[in-house]
């Protein structure tokens, strides 16, 4: 069945460091891919998404490119800030499964000054 695998955390970085959080997926159809962010004490918020191969989603300095050949959707940011400390979830939604969402287990990021 459809699934998402993302790198385990926790990840700790210094401010202004480069961030990569890996995400790979398994899907039988043509899924849409998402990154959600959860700040402490809050619900999940959509960070970015991509709906077809080679699309790049971007928001708040974060980027992820939908790579069909490697079934990946890695999240990157060139210079993280303390305010980026949160848990990041990769997810997919596929029409052939009724657009159900499948989430990864989440990656906790802490950015230290």
Partner 1 sequence: DADVTQTPRNRITKTGKRIMLECSQTKGHDRMYWYRQDPGLGLRLIYYSFDVKDINKGEISDGYSVSRQAQAKFSLSLESAIPNQTALYFCATSDLGLAGTDTQYFGPGTRLTVL
* Residue ranges in contact with partner 1 by CB under 8 A: 32, 34, 36, 42-46, 49, 51, 89, 93, 95, 98-101, 103-106
Short-list 96, 93, 90, 109, CA closest to 46: 90
Nearest to 87 by CA among 102, 67, 103: 103
Q: What's the closest the beta carbon of residue 43 comes to partner 1, in angstroms?
A: 4
Q: Which is nearer to partner 1, 13 or 44 (CB)?
A: 44
Using the minimum distance from each CB to partner 1, give the nearer residue, 71 or 103.
103
Q: How far is the CB of 17 from partner 1 (least distance, A)?
A: 25
Q: CA triplet 48, 49, 55: central angle to 5 degrees?
A: 120
């Amino acid at each position: 069945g459809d699934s998402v695998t993302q790198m385990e955390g926790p990840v700790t970085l210094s401010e202004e460091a480069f961030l990569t959080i890996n995400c790979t997926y398994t899907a039988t159809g043509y899924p849409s891919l998402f990154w959600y962010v959860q700040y402490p004490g809050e619900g999940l918020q959509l960070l970015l998404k991509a709906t077809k191969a080679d699309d790049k989603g971007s928001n708040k300095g974060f980027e992820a490119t939908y790579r069909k050949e490697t079934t990946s959707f890695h999240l990157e940011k060139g210079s993280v800030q303390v305010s980026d400390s949160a848990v990041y979830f990769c997810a997919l939604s596929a029409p052939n499964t009724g657009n159900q969402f499948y989430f990864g287990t989440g990656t906790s990021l802490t950015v230290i000054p």
